[in-house]
């Protein structure tokens, strides 16, 4: 993933407000900062972050290293009562936090980013150990991007706007915070996607309760611990545990909004439970992203880009290329070159500096891939590379696998594998491939590749996806909205639009 650069917008100077004694405690933070600058002991046990305190849980659950299958650590299994306490703490913190100026909240988030940066190496190592991705090539980039996101999002503003001004009256719109936000994060990018939610939520004046995936809770618990030394009590709370906590959190009457990243099936349940009190929801869900290589493309130069766009993080990302359509004029030669490049990529332990691709993060996903591989074999599809999982090897390792020209209705084309397996499909007609690319309930992202830029752009404009790249891929930015169409999601993250989703639009009309 690459990040597009952007210029810091001019900050609106918010009017000074008179704060009661309770709120003045939020404006300094100096005494609490010292906790973070002293550093966090990454070898210590893990605890929940609730109301500004580190809280023990009576029970715990095992977190596994996916490269070895061994227990990495025990994480606290928060209870429903502890989750309710966290929501209550966030609710109590909301009035004071929301009354701070944007600049004051930026100061807190900047200090939080500084504290994260001071322990970025420890977070990077922990991320590889619990998630599996290669430390040198992916984990380090994820941590650095996440910290950058916090720092830059903190600089963004949603200024008041005058939409009508006459001799009789003035009409202005304001963006006001919602209240307590629930964030539920996935196991594929736990640091980045966690901080993607924290930064816009807090800068807009909301407070948060976050529940990380039980497969990858450790980094989230650590940066929750770091936050307790920076942020006022109750502003950010982290509670780890099983799926039942997520269900309770999304239905909680004191939660104003849910920001969820995960599967489409779970996203539907989140939306259903949130309807109890008409919660706002942002859902970033699954995808089955097509890439279309046009017959005039310089395909040999594209192969490394397309490989990593499909197989980065061992295919465990929602915006991975999952269907690669290549014109029949170049299909056979393309597959040959692609296989040659892919064959040299090493699958192994992410802590090994020679590793290109790490393990599948958890056994549930590993077993889903085993089932999909069995279907590929049973149907006799051509597999020029990979296709056989060596289960005698410790860890959740799945080989780079390429399926050559399977039928359009095959599972490997129609489903989201979320692993290192890619169908490369031949097509003859542009109209046909556009139809095939759009014949899916998903619509997260897509890409088009070719020398005729006008033609590629015209095709891109007809693809039903929230993001379409032309001759580039996986570029994101603080000011670039990201979201899905159809069953790939609801709402957006990032950009002004994503920031606005953490607020209500309030209209104030004043008579002159």
Which residues, 6+ apart, have CB-to-CB distance to 360 below 8 Å? 66, 132, 314, 316, 366, 369, 396, 397, 398, 419
C-alpha 347/C-alpha 359 separation (Å) is: 7
- Using alpha carbons only, give the angle 125, 129, 132 rounded to the nearest 5 degrees: 110
Phi–psi pair at 419, nearest 5 degrees:
-165, 180
3-state secondary structure 387-431: CCCCCCCCCCCCCCEEEECCCCCCHHHHCCCCCCEEEEEEECCHH
Phi–psi pair at 270, nearest 5 degrees:
-60, -45
DSSP labels, 241-286: --HHHHHHHHH-TT--EEEEES-HHHHHHHHHHHGGGT-EEEEE--
Q: What is the DSSP letter of 456?
A: H
Dihedral over alpha carbons 373, 378, 379, 380 (to 10 degrees): 90
**Residue 438 in contact with residue 280, Cβ under 8 Å?**
no
**Residue 304 in contact with residue 408, Cβ under 8 Å?**
no
Dihedral over alpha carbons 104, 110, 114, 115 (to 10 degrees): 60
C-alpha 100/C-alpha 103 separation (Å) is: 8
Residue 207 parent element (H or E): strand 207-211
Q: Checking DSSP bridges between strand 445-449 and strand 289-293, what pairing results, if any?
A: parallel
Which residues are tagged catalytic?
284, 318
C-alpha 25/C-alpha 37 separation (Å) is: 19
């Amino acid at each position: 993933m690459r990040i597009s650069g952007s210029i810091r917008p001019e900050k609106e100077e918010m009017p000074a407000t008179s704060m009661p004694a309770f709120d003045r405690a939020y404006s300094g933070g100096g005494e609490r900062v010292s906790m973070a600058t002293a550093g966090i002991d990454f070898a210590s046990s893990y605890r929940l972050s609730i109301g500004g305190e580190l809280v023990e849980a009576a029970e715990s659950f095992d977190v596994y290293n996916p490269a070895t299958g061994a227990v990495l650590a025990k994480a606290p299994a928060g209870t429903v009562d502890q989750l309710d306490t966290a929501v209550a703490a966030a609710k109590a913190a909301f009035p004071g936090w929301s009354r701070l100026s944007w600049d004051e909240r930026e100061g807190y988030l900047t200090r939080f980013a500084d504290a994260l940066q001071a322990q970025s190496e420890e977070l990077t190592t922990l991320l590889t150990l619990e998630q599996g991705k290669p430390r040198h090539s992916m984990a380090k980039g994820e941590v650095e991007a996440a910290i950058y996101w916090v720092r830059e999002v903190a600089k963004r503003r949603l200024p008041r706007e005058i939409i009508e001004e006459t001799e009789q009256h003035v009409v202005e719109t304001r963006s006001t915070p919602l209240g307590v936000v629930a964030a539920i994060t996935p196991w594929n990018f736990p640091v980045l996607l966690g901080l993607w939610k924290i930064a816009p939520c807090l800068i807009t004046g909301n407070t948060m309760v976050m529940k990380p995936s039980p497969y990858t809770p450790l980094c989230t618990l650590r940066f929750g611990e770091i936050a307790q030394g920076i942020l006022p009590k109750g502003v950010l709370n982290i509670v780890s545990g099983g799926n039942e906590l997520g269900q309770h959190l999304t239905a909680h009457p004191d939660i104003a909004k849910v920001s969820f990243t995960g599967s489409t099936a779970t996203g539907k349940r989140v939306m259903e439970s949130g309807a109890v009190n008409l919660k706002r929801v942002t859902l970033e869900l699954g995808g089955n992203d097509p890439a279309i290589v046009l017959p005039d493309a310089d395909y040999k130069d594209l192969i490394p880009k397309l490989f990593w766009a499909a197989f980065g993080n061992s295919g465990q990302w929602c915006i991975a290329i999952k269907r690669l359509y290549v014109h029949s004029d170049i299909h056979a030669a393309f597959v040959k070159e692609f296989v040659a490049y892919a064959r040299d990529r090493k699958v192994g332990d992410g802590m090994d500096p020679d590793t290109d691709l790490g393990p599948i993060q958890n056994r549930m996903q590993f077993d889903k891939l085993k089932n999909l591989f069995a279907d590929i074999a049973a149907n006799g599809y051509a597999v020029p590379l990979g296709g056989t999982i060596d289960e005698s090897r410790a860890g959740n390792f799945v080989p780079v696998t390429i399926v050559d020209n399977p039928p359009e209705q095959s599972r490997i084309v129609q489903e989201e594998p979320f692993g290192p397996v890619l169908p490369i499909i031949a097509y003859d007609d542009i109209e046909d491939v556009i139809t095939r690319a759009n014949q899916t309930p998903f619509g997260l992202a897509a890409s088009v590749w070719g020398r005729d830029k006008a033609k590629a752009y015209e095709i891109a404009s007809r693809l039903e996806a929230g993001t379409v790249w032309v001759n580039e891929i996986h570029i994101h930015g603080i000011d670039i909205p990201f979201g899905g169409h159809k069953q790939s999601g609801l709402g957006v993250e990032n950009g002004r639009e994503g920031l606005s989703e953490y607020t209500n639009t309030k209209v104030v009309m004043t008579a002159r």
